[in-house]
Chains A and B, each alone.
Chain A
Amino acid sequence: MKDWSIETIGITKEYGGNGKRLVAVDHVDLLVRSGELFGLLGPNGAGKTTLIKMLCTLILPSEGTAKIGGYDIIKEPSKVRETIGWLHGETGGRALYWRLSARDNLRFYAYIQNVPAEVARRRIKTLLEFFELEEDADKLVKDYSTGMKVRVMLARTLLPNPPILLLDEPTVGLDAQTAIETRKLIRSLSEELRKTILLTSHNLNEVEKLCERVAIINSGKIVALGTMDQLVHLIREAQCIEVRLDGTGSEDAARTLQQVDVVRGILLSERVGDGWVIRAEVSDIDSALPRIAAALASSNFRVRAISEIRPSLEEIFVKITEDAANEYK
């Protein structure tokens, strides 16, 4: 295995003809280290799925290429397919054979994934047990709930034990407990078995907790890439404060804050219990705290606390994708 498990080199996908041209993925260069848990984020239609399908060899790039485990996706697609496990969680179990049981779906997959019969038998039993499907293992998948179907898909992805996992929305449709267990499993697969994992999720909290590095894709281009700390520093405006206030009249406090010249924008303003929480971007954290405190005090707001906070991935994501969208305009 090379140092880079996933390496995209100017990979581009352009659709259309007859004057209609859509660049779904635009000269993307990505490097994902062996054993790394890497997050890929982007709004709907940003190019995430096209990029992942190109890595799976389901879509041919118009330009550029990618290497998966050292194998070129255009020249060595069979080797790439042996190296990856792909989960398309967003289908909600559509990609399973609904008229086969969970056990038979896994058996079927073992055949086409070249898993030896005896190994397959043991792994299927273990996976059914882990994903709590053993009781319903012989029922047809069409009678399963969405969460159960996603669990079968997860089991199927792990069955051949590939070194590289492309997990597209792995926890969508799962109940809270199974989602937690699945996240734990994903982390263990990366940390203990050194599997390389490319993860996409609408749950930004999940990506933030799991991934070492994150790339944000928008309109087919990578608009930000780095560790969480690096992403925070990428946006100067990402210096944030959180103000907690007493009382019900505090909704006006957001307007008061907007009058303070160091406040660049309000990220959040909502009631929490019997108080109010406001989050704001500020241009200079050192001078912002005393000036905001003074402005609120002069307007007779009862301040419980003011603190500097690290923006969440969600806030960074919104900020970066908005900035990128404004740039394209």
Chain B
Amino acid sequence: MKVEVIPWVLLLSMQLSLAAITATATVSNTAPSISNIWITETTGTPVSSLDPATEYYIIVNVTDSNSLKDIENITLTLYNNSLNSPDSTRYHYTFKFDNDTLSFSEIGPGNTHLITADCSYPTLTNVYGNYTFAIRLNETAIPSTWVLWVNVTDSAGNKVSKNVTFSVNEYISASLDDSSLTFSGSPGTNDVPASENPTVVTVKSNVNFSIQVKGSGDFVGSTDSSFTIPLSYLTFDDDSTPSESTETGLAEKSCDTVYQILYSNVGYGYNVAKNIYWFLDIPNGILAQEYTTTIYVGVFSA
């Protein structure tokens, strides 16, 4: 009897164990891919050259068969020198999207070149989508050919990269702290300084530049235009002493209707400040009245 019972017990236990089997599917991790990279204006127009101090979108289209949740991070490196060089406003920028914190950040060179409010990421349950980095290069970014290197890393440590080239355009921006000049003095007085002295020229530029001065013509009397002061009686200098016995800096120059260079080949930079001191010789024999002209300050690439 015992002998017959054992097979039933075995069968029963087999049935019980079969009912407890669970199906397990192991999904392997596949490497992501970068389908495309676009650089566009904020209007969506694709561009291949970038103006400094202007916002652009870098759009990275990423595909991952494990869904975009699998993406660990995306790193953008924009450089003119080499990929692993340190970040700098002139040559190298690094930006990152971190999937853990779902945040965009600027690794370097500062914290003003990524406009995080305009960055966006796709629905992460999708297998592909666009990551948008809103960037703005510094005013001193070198005008040359650059590389945009994109690196995508997934949770398994798979890394893919892709790069495109673009160029950066020349940029010059200048500011003056004066919008007019005022000279007051008696006839026969030389080197009357402008009450605004000095006029400070502040320049942001990615190229070397010169600062030049010209005038539209002679100073003309506002009530009696038959009286004038020659334009050449207006002089300008880089220091407050118009004619030192031994000139310490740049020599004083006379104003003309064509540009005269005061500062030449000034190095590019951010907020490079240069002074212009103005002086006027007031000739004898002219009426007491206001005399006017227009003085041009030109800031031009060297």
Query: A and B: real partners?
Result: no
Give chain A's interface residues, CB within 8 Å of chain B: none
